[in-house]
Structure 1
Amino acid sequence: MTDPFQVPYKCYKTGLLIIGVIATQFGCVFDEIPFREHPKTNFVDEIGVVLKKYQHVLSLEFAVKEVNENPKILPNVTLGFHIYDSFANARMTQQNTLKLLSSWKRIVPNFSCDMQNGLIAIIGGLDSDISLNMAALLSIYKIPQIAYSIFAPVKNPKIQLPSFYRTVPNEELQYTGIVHLFLHFLWTWVGIIAADDDDGEKFVQVLRKMLYQNGVCTAFSEKTPVLSHTLEMLQAFESIQSKGSLITNSKVKVLVVNAEPQTTACLIWLIYFYSVSENSAETSIGKVWIMTAHWDFSSQSEHRNFNIQVFDGALSFAIHSSHVPEFTKFLQILHPNPKKREDFIRVFWEKAFNCSLLDSSEHGESNNICTGHEKLENLPGFVFEMSMTDQSYSIYNAVHAIAQTMHKMYTFRPKLNTIMDRVRVDRPFFQPWQLHRFLKSISFNNSAGDTVSFDENKELQAGFDIINWVTFPNRSFLRVKVGRMDPQASAGQVFTINDEAITWHSMFNQELPVAMCNNKCHPGYSRKKKEGEPFCCYDCAPCPDGKFSDQIDIDDCFKCPEHQFPNRDKDQCLPKIVNFLTFGEPLGIILTFLASSFSLLTALVLGVFIKNKDTPIVKANNRDLTYSLLISLLLCFLCSLLFMGRPQTVTCFLRQTTFGMIFSVAISCVLAKTITVIMAFTATKPGSRMRKWVGKRLTNAILLASSLIQAAVCAGWLCTAPPFPDIDMHSLNDEIIEECNEGSATMFYCVLGYLGLLAFVSFTVAFLARKLPDSFNEAKFITFSMLIFCIVWLSFVPSYLSTKGKYMVAVEIFTILVSSAGLLSCIFFPKCYIIIWRPALNTKDQVIKKT
């Protein structure tokens, strides 16, 4: 090539106003230029044509054709275009951008002697790197640049690139859509694949942060090498193959791919290497691929030999687009014109149909001659689509935005003559930088009915479509629109998706794929973090006692309301049962029967003693004291009934105080009887002064003094903190305890302590008097009865404290009955035996007989 700046592929259409375009369709290898040589461009090899991207050029031609044929837009003014290829190369991008800015087809910066150039705006590029390479030059001249790249070339293009516009939405909306998609399908364990460059790094950082904030874990984030041509791809075989975990990791079912061409090309090679090394079909991979809006499905010529069913059921985001019916008709009549040197269509036609045009000896790959009757609709979808893709739709909107802006400028001229409305002029009388005022505020409806306008960041005010890709064994496919991310929709409708319209990969048997680190925790369980693992990986721990969980995958179990308790599975709450000791339940019946029986027995004993009141054995040891003891024992048995039934104010008020007073009287009687025995024997000794103490005065004094002390304690209890009915919600998990709150636990234990003191004194005195003559002495019986009494009440304290609810009440009733029965049996049964069955022993001679 003699011209150091000659470019092999370009496309040109004359017009009064020219739209410059930097497309990306061809891939070439360029030689290295040492600094000692004059700058030049030599192509070493042409490595391929991205066939599907030729539609970008066709959508631009179609949009220009629409504008020129529409009398309502720019009347008497024709639009033209000048297209160069970027070759995905920074040097070629800048070189061809300079060609658009220069005259006479030579690069002469800052000088234009051909005023008929008419360049008004430039469209491009496809990715952020190409866009930035273009913007570096165009921003100097303030020429509007409308890009259709998914990622902005800089962090803040509004400030850093004031002449930069994009006919795509803000990429943040795409991140939000991916997060919404994962949350919708409950996918929490995903992988990320991106290129090892600035765009890939940005994609991974932003997405991982948003996923983490929404409870989604990243199993891995893998970087693919940036490879410029097939030779590097083959040389990087080992590097690519080492990333086999991306597709062999069976736990990671969902992979999100930043699907710009470099990454998808590397991914396809990776899948190919895996299928070869594992000797298995690619379709066995069984993943859900989530692709970004870069996704072109078949952006590499190698796809001709690639099994596209690997991507069956994939979901991708795409710039929102609508069907343009006239575009299909435009494609149906499209053929290369042999009279025109149209580089793009000639190369595309030969590559797509694998034939050679008659006047071509360079591009054809076979001896087949193109007949001229080839039709684009006969090409498989992975090579070329008849419907306008989202990227082509963006270019289509960009052309119309420029045309509408120019039309608005021509009609909005309050201080200028309207010469353009009457006569045709040979050149525009304005500069490209004047478009910005109108372009940034332009708003119109295109032929598909969509509103086209730019937001404050000079980005398209539109959303993303969610596409489901359905593939077939014959290498055909369907593009099904299943959802939308619409930032201008009402609340709750920003993200919409139709689950029933989605076709999943055949390995999932049309069931929703599961993407989790582990199985969900069912109701009745809560999540327990695994040490050293991401928060999405956890164990399931059963809810502790008293708690429940009625949801899936909760972090902690909840307490039931106070009036409810967890069921056996701990997945719901049930109403608590009211707990109190009733007369009708088996335990209540037994205790009532025992109390009634002992009361009746005590009454019978009292009747026997009254009937035989004049016998020596009854008269011995103070007959009145015996009657008092029997009556108090009778009342002890009956007072146990106060503890049964639903607690009421009166019963709670009387329970412990009545029991304490009656037992104090009973034990005081036992103490008085024991002291009477000792005093009687002491008084019988010659010269004893104890005779004056023997009699009723001593016993009454003991009985009255002992009882008054307990009465004072009970009175103080009732006056300061009396017992009252209460409800205990917490002691038992599944029951509500209705009980008598003692008011003051201190006073309660003071009453019991005083009873214990009386019992201990009685036991001690009786024990000291146990060796008195048997025929007169009942101290042995009293000793034994008090021993039983003390053992029972010492056992009562731990038993009482270790039980809850009605069983606590039952323990106290049982203790009262057993201790009272011990006094009754040990003191009175031997006497009853003599009175009833051995009356011969009940004589005065037997009573006074010495052993």
Structure 2
Amino acid sequence: MDGDYVIGGVFSIHYYMHTVNHNYKTMPEPPRCTGSIDSRELRLSRAMIFAIEEINNSTELLPGIKLGYQIYDSCASVPVAVQVAFQFSNGLDPVFDTVEDCSQSGMVIAVVGETGSSPSISMSRIIGPFNIPQVSHFATCACLSNKQQYPNFFRTVPSDQFQAEALAKLVKHFGWTWIGAVRSDSDYGNNGMASFLDAARKEGICLEYSESFYWNHPRSRIQRVADVIRRSTATVVLAFTSPGDLRILLEELSLEPSPPRQWIGSEAWVTDTDMRRFSFCSGAIGFGIQKSVIPGLRDFLLDLSSSKVVASSVLTEFWEDAFNCRMGKREAIGKRLCDGTEDIKRLQSPYTDTSQLRITNMVYKAVYAIAYAIHKAACQETHSTTQCDKFTRIESKEVLTQLKKVNFSKNGYDVSFDANGDPVARYELVNWQKSESGSIKLVTVGKYDASLPVGQKFQINRNLTWVDGGTQVPISVCTDSCPPGTRKVLQKGKPICCYDCIPCPEGEINNATDTPDCFSCPKEFWPNAERDTCLPKPVEFLSYNEVLGIILATFSVGGACLAIITAAVFYRHRTSPIVRANNSELSFLLLFSLTLCFLCSLTFIGAPSEYSCLLRHTAFGITFVLCMSCVLGKTIVVLMAFRATLPGSNVMKWFGPPQQRMTVVSFTFIQVLICTIWLVLSPPFPLKNLNIYKERIILECALGSAVGFWAVLGYIGLLAVFCFVLAVLARKLPDNFNEAKLITFSMLIFCAVWITFIPAYLTSPGKFTVAVEIFAILASSFGLILCIFAPKCFTILVKPEKNTRKHIMNKNQS
């Protein structure tokens, strides 16, 4: 249709180009399209005509100016699109007018189209130098946002850059990290997949395969792609393809069913009505252009009279295909003659389906954007009136300039372009769901709005149906998630989504899933069995609540009671010869010190505290020295008594009771002095020992100064050795009151216990160190009380006839 300003339109009404073998003898025929008509593309072209007629009937937009149009079929072919672009630039006149200025002769003022990205790129490179603006309704390649290469290109459909990011977030949202991908081997598919791979890499998504194909590739190539999909382990397939390309692949897949696959679609095919005939793709999800309503469009589409159909070869072809009849005298084998009973209102076709107007609205907005740009360039607004002069010719460059500033709203939809010629990216998340009749319907389940803040762009507001009608989200991972307590270790030569799950090392935990590192627990904590939580380490010490502690405490109290009972027996028979003959004062002092020795072992049981640590070693050291001093005094008394029996000896006056007491006090005072120095300079203190066991804490008393501890033990050992030597010297004295043999045997036990104690103490772990020390105290104490006092008590209680002065003074017959 002619007009004051002509707008060009390019649509892929057919999907195949007729190929001709050139003989180089005759002029080649112009390229022409063949195959069946794409009803959706026909609807798009008719929507452009509807928009232009609506504008021409408007009194507000371009009043007094008539828009015309030239609409071409590119059959989705770059060569045809290039030819159309030259026609838009030069016009169709075979001879140029060389007299007048023909710089604008035959040129369209702007172009709507093309549907595909590759034809749009080719067209933009040709008409761009002529400053002819191009507004595409469906060319989504992100490469077209490059204004240095495509300065004249605009589009009403969002760029694939936004769609790729939205698809990556969609895949990540459902936990799919291992997917397959197929793409059209075209600018749309290759650039779209490249954008998706960049976005997917940031989201931690891996591709098992990425295959490209094109509708005119050999069938062997299509079969190979289909086989890759069938053999893959990924259950999710993302298809960044045009509808025509994917149709070829799905037809190949339908010949030999593959395992169930969850399809994710780009907006090019996921909203295409014709694609929904492939029922094995039910459950497919993807982003589509927003649905819209265009008042009056359906009536316009259905208003096809016989005269209109016959006047257009494209409409005639569509009519014949739709109703399987032939118009007029056209030849068609096996087809009846169209008799006028055909009712397009009853026709089920993408052409008549206006329930999901998506791309159609993009065409509608593209036409209006051009019209508004022409309005700004050709019209003058004065007060409340608008004057447009159709005789003042404007150049396409002015329209191009005004198109960059366009900002209007039509039917509730905003139209504007950013610096790259792109609109605001808004998508609907659509899902293929089976209806009760078994057909697949398109259901909007969410949305994506790139203009919203991060975290609010992607929303899902309805339940989805998955592959085979399932309600559970399919799983598509190379390796199952590593549970808490394990860490990820990448498999050599595999993508980052393929890994092994290795348990955390000893002492480390991991409380998250799919993380590559474990971390150590704090010093006083230790992992649980699952190694996903740090628990406080159990504190271990020799307790009164455990069997070992109870046994040791029982023997300790029992030993103290035994010493007290022995003292009571001695006190009860204090006037008897055997008690008087064995230095009763030192005996009672020895029994008292042994009682303290038994009781001091109780300070080693229980949780160490600051006071118990100060008390346990000093009390043990002082009481044992007191005990050794008494034994030493008794041994010296035996020796001195024997010396006193010799003629002329007065040695006992130098070792009477006062001297004995002074000896005990002096030896004990030295130990008290050693302990005082130890406590003042570096006293023992409670310590949480974290080094012996990794998994538990040993609560113990640190020595403070090891020198002080070993000085205390060394002094006790020195007295014991001295006692042992003196007892050995006096062991063969002939009198019955001689205790030297008993003292010798008790010192043998004492020294054996404490010599054994040293290596046992140094090598025993944890609370057993304390147990060894208590055992040594108890064993040596029992050795002393049993060896020295048991025979006397036996005589007193069981053999009273031997508890006489005569028997005691009797010399050994040997």
Residue in structure 1 matching 2:480, options 511, 516, 519: 519
Residue in structure 2 matching 1:488, options 434, 442, 451: 451
Residue in structure 2 matching 1:77, options 56, 65, 69: 65
C-alpha deviation, 1:587, in angstroms: 5.9
Aligned to 2:259: 285
Name the CA distance, whole Å, in 2 between partners of 1:22 and 1:550: 58
Structure 1 residues 398 and 156: alpha-carbon distance in aligned structure 2, compared to 1, 3 A threshold: closer
Aligned to 1:50: 38
Aligned to 1:259: 241
Structure 1 residues 529 and 101: alpha-carbon distance in aligned structure 2, compared to 1, 3 A threshold: closer
Q: Please give the secondary structure, in 2, of the residue aligned with 1:470.
A: strand
Alpha carbons 2:141, 2:187 under 8 Å: kept: no
Matches within 5 A, 1:378-777: 378-380=346-348, 385-412=353-380, 421=386, 425=390, 427-447=391-411, 449-471=412-434, 476-500=439-463, 502-506=464-468, 509-523=470-484, 525-541=486-502, 551-556=512-517, 590-613=551-574, 617-618=578-579, 623-644=584-605, 647-670=608-631, 703=664, 707-724=668-685, 739=699, 741-742=701-702, 744=704, 746=706, 749-750=709-710, 753-754=713-714, 757-758=717-718, 761=721, 765=725, 772=732, 776=738, 777=741
Is 1:326 the counterpart of 2:296 in the alignment? yes
What amino acid does structure 2 have at the position aligned with 1:143?
I
Name the CA distance, whole Å, in 2 between partners of 1:499 and 1:749: 77
Name the CA distance, whole Å, in 2 between partners of 1:296 and 1:336: 34
Name the CA distance, whole Å, in 2 between partners of 1:628 and 1:808: 30
Matched residue count: 806
Matches within 5 A, 1:95-174: 95-106=83-94, 113=102, 117=106, 119-152=108-141, 154=143, 157-174=146-163
Structure 1 residues 592 and 67: alpha-carbon distance in aligned structure 2, compared to 1, 3 A threshold: same
Alpha carbons 2:527, 2:534 under 8 Å: kept: yes
Alpha carbons 2:302, 2:345 under 8 Å: kept: yes
C-alpha deviation, 1:292, in angstroms: 1.3
Instruction: Please list the CA deviations of residues 443-465 of structure 1 after superposition, one character each: whole Å capped at 9, or x if unmatched.
Output: 11121x12111112210113222
Name the CA distance, whole Å, in 2 between partners of 1:182 and 1:693: 104
Alpha carbons 2:527, 2:535 under 8 Å: kept: yes
Residue in structure 1 matching 2:74, options 83, 86, 96: 86
Name the CA distance, whole Å, in 2 between partners of 1:14 and 1:87: 24
Structure 1 residues 577 and 513: alpha-carbon distance in aligned structure 2, compared to 1, 3 A threshold: same
What amino acid does structure 2 have at the position aligned with 1:310?
F
What amino acid does structure 1 have at the position aligned with 2:365?
N
Aligned to 2:754: 790
Instruction: Please list the CA deviations of residues 337-395 of structure 1 after superposition, one character each: whole Å capped at 9, or x if unmatched.
Output: 3575323322333333333222433xx57413334454556455678633354332222
Aligned to 1:223: 211
Structure 1 residues 723 and 771: alpha-carbon distance in aligned structure 2, compared to 1, 3 A threshold: closer
What amino acid does structure 1 have at the position aligned with 2:86?
L
Instruction: Please list the CA deviations of residues 504-542 of structure 1 after superposition, one character each: whole Å capped at 9, or x if unmatched.
Output: 1226x3222112223334455554544554333344455
Aligned to 2:321: 351
Q: Please give the secondary structure, in 2, of the residue aligned with 1:511.
A: coil
Name the CA distance, whole Å, in 1 between partners of 2:30 and 2:539: 94
Q: Please give the secondary structure, in 1, of the residue aligned with 2:451.
A: coil
Instruction: Please list the CA deviations of residues 192-212 of structure 1 after superposition, one character each: whole Å capped at 9, or x if unmatched.
Output: 222445654444444334323
C-alpha deviation, 1:82, in angstroms: 0.7
Alpha carbons 1:663, 1:755 under 8 Å: kept: no
Residue in structure 2 matching 1:213, options 202, 207, 211: 202
C-alpha deviation, 1:466, in angstroms: 1.3
Residue in structure 1 matching 2:172, options 183, 187, 193: 183
Q: Please give the secondary structure, in 2, of the residue aligned with 1:59.
A: helix
C-alpha deviation, 1:688, in angstroms: 11
C-alpha deviation, 1:121, in angstroms: 0.8
Structure 1 residues 114 and 641: alpha-carbon distance in aligned structure 2, compared to 1, 3 A threshold: closer
Instruction: Please list the CA deviations of residues 521-576 of structure 1 after superposition, one character each: whole Å capped at 9, or x if unmatched.
Output: 44555545445543333444555666666555455556678887766655667787
Instruction: Please list the CA deviations of residues 812-845 of structure 1 after superposition, one character each: whole Å capped at 9, or x if unmatched.
Output: 5455334433333333323322332234445565
Alpha carbons 1:674, 1:765 under 8 Å: kept: no
What amino acid does structure 2 have at the position aligned with 1:480?
V
Alpha carbons 1:401, 1:442 under 8 Å: kept: yes
Structure 1 window deviating more from structure 2 (403-412 vs 671-680): it is 671-680
Name the CA distance, whole Å, in 2 between partners of 1:770 and 1:398: 126
Name the CA distance, whole Å, in 2 between partners of 1:205 and 1:683: 115
Name the CA distance, whole Å, in 1 between partners of 2:568 and 2:290: 105
Name the CA distance, whole Å, in 2 between partners of 1:107 and 1:711: 130
C-alpha deviation, 1:635, in angstroms: 0.9
Instruction: Please list the CA deviations of residues 406-454 of structure 1 after superposition, one character each: whole Å capped at 9, or x if unmatched.
Output: 223334579xx99x955763x452111112332112111121x121111
Q: Please give the secondary structure, in 2, of the residue aligned with 1:285.
A: coil
Alpha carbons 1:602, 1:824 under 8 Å: kept: yes
C-alpha deviation, 1:314, in angstroms: 0.2
C-alpha deviation, 1:122, in angstroms: 0.9
Structure 1 window deviating more from structure 2 (597-606 vs 338-347): it is 338-347
Name the CA distance, whole Å, in 2 between partners of 1:114 and 1:528: 67
Name the CA distance, whole Å, in 2 between partners of 1:735 and 1:266: 67
Name the CA distance, whole Å, in 2 between partners of 1:648 and 1:109: 113
Identity value in percent: 29
Alpha carbons 1:166, 1:458 under 8 Å: kept: yes
Q: Give unpaired runs (5+ residues) of structure 2.
A: none
Name the CA distance, whole Å, in 2 between partners of 1:199 and 1:47: 22
C-alpha deviation, 1:783, in angstroms: 3.7
Q: Give unpaired runs (5+ residues) of structure 1.
A: 1-12, 276-281
Q: Please give the secondary structure, in 1, of the residue aligned with 2:336.
A: coil
C-alpha deviation, 1:243, in angstroms: 4.9
Name the CA distance, whole Å, in 2 between partners of 1:677 and 1:245: 106
Instruction: Please list the CA deviations of residues 221-272 of structure 1 after superposition, one character each: whole Å capped at 9, or x if unmatched.
Output: 23233342xxx443x26x62365131333x3111111122464145224413
Name the CA distance, whole Å, in 2 between partners of 1:25 and 1:170: 23
Is 1:295 the counterpart of 2:257 in the alignment? no
Name the CA distance, whole Å, in 1 between partners of 2:581 and 2:97: 141
C-alpha deviation, 1:487, in angstroms: 1.4
Alpha carbons 1:293, 1:317 under 8 Å: kept: yes
Name the CA distance, whole Å, in 1 between partners of 2:499 and 2:641: 83
Q: Please give the secondary structure, in 2, of the residue aligned with 1:444.
A: strand
Q: Please give the secondary structure, in 2, of the residue aligned with 1:290.
A: strand
Structure 1 residues 78 and 309: alpha-carbon distance in aligned structure 2, compared to 1, 3 A threshold: same
Structure 1 residues 832 and 163: alpha-carbon distance in aligned structure 2, compared to 1, 3 A threshold: same
Alpha carbons 1:444, 1:451 under 8 Å: kept: yes
Aligned to 2:312: 342
C-alpha deviation, 1:749, in angstroms: 4.5
Instruction: Please list the CA deviations of residues 723-767 of structure 1 after superposition, one character each: whole Å capped at 9, or x if unmatched.
Output: 445667998899887x56536263575356536744873696379
Name the CA distance, whole Å, in 2 between partners of 1:185 and 1:480: 18
Instruction: Please list the CA deviations of residues 578-599 of structure 1 after superposition, one character each: whole Å capped at 9, or x if unmatched.
Output: 7666656766555444332221
C-alpha deviation, 1:328, in angstroms: 2.8
Instruction: Please list the CA deviations of residues 136-192 of structure 1 after superposition, one character each: whole Å capped at 9, or x if unmatched.
Output: 111111111112345437375122222111222232221221222122212222112
Name the CA distance, whole Å, in 1 between partners of 2:329 and 2:582: 146
